[in-house]
């Protein structure tokens, strides 16, 4: 099975235009919601993450403290299920062709990690290809902390504890330098669709 024609055209045009060093405005959805169990997340996870050691040695685009690529906790597993539900409902029109909606494909979270920003930390511009969808969850933040910025559209998502942002993985994004002493902590991850008939990941081309 192939990606739907609509999303293939959007991604193809996006890559072609980037090759000519041109800027575009994305016609796509960036979903933002305030998670209803944010307080439970804060109480459970902030004590575990605020002094977490850097496991990636700043060798990624995230120039901040990062955990392992796969972390888990009962509250994280609860959030994962909610994110999968939201992707299946909110991004329905971007889904893959199938005779019955979601019968053929299942969204699968392939990784889930935390980012702990101290004063001076930042994230370089990047995307999450070949994943299909990515997300950021603001675990500990203030409204005046650095936003999540989508490069081509210029859309800026202001931090707020419990704010969940889900977006197509091909969108370039970054985080400006964090200028405050209090920590800015986010959770991030990527999602692939799996074919239920083969259980093999379908890679976005």
pLDDT of 9 higher than 60: no
Write the pLDDT tens digit of every residue in 50-76.
Answer: 999 999 999 999 999 999 999 999 999
Mean pLDDT over residues 183-203, rounded? 74
Query: What span, in angstroms and rounded, lies between the C-alpha atoms of 93 and 75?
Result: 29
State the DSSP string of 142-202. -TTSPPEEETTT--EE---TTEEEEEETTS-EEEPPP-SSS-EEEEEEEEEEEETTT--B-
> What's the pLDDT score for residue 22?
36
Q: Which CATH superfamily is domain 5-195 in?
A: q2cbj1_9rhob like domain (2.60.120.620)
Q: What are the extents of the domains in the chain? A: 5-195
Query: What span, in angstroms and rounded, lies between the C-alpha atoms of 13 and 51?
Result: 43
Query: What span, in angstroms and rounded, lies between the C-alpha atoms of 11 and 14?
Result: 5
pLDDT of 27 higher than 60: no
Bigger pLDDT: 175 or 24? 175
pLDDT grade for 183, boundaries at 50, 70 and 90? very high
Residue in 118, 98, 116 with CA at minimum distance from that of residue 106 = 98
Rounded mean pLDDT of the chain?
Answer: 83
pLDDT of 88 higher than 70: yes
């Amino acid at each position: 099975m192939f990606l739907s024609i609509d999303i293939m055209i959007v991604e193809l045009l996006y890559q072609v235009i980037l090759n000519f060093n041109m800027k575009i405005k994305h016609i796509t959805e960036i979903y933002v919601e305030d998670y209803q169990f944010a307080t439970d997340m804060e109480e459970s996870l902030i004590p575990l993450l605020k002094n977490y050691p850097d496991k990636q040695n700043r060798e990624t685009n995230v120039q901040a403290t990062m955990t392992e690529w796969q972390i888990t906790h009962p509250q994280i597993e609860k959030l994962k299920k909610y994110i999968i539900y939201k992707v299946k409902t909110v991004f329905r029109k971007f889904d893959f062709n199938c005779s019955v909606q979601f019968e053929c494909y299942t969204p699968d979270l392939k990784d889930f990690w935390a980012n702990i920003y101290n004063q001076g930390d930042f994230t370089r511009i990047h995307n999450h290809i070949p994943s299909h969808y990515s997300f950021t969850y603001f675990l500990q933040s203030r409204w005046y902390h650095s936003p999540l910025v989508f490069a081509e559209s210029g859309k800026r998502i202001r931090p707020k504890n419990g704010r969940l942002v889900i977006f197509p993985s091909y969108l370039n994004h970054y985080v400006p330098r964090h200028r405050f002493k209090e920590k800015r902590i986010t959770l991030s991850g990527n999602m692939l669709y799996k074919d239920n008939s083969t259980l093999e990941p379908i890679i976005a081309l």
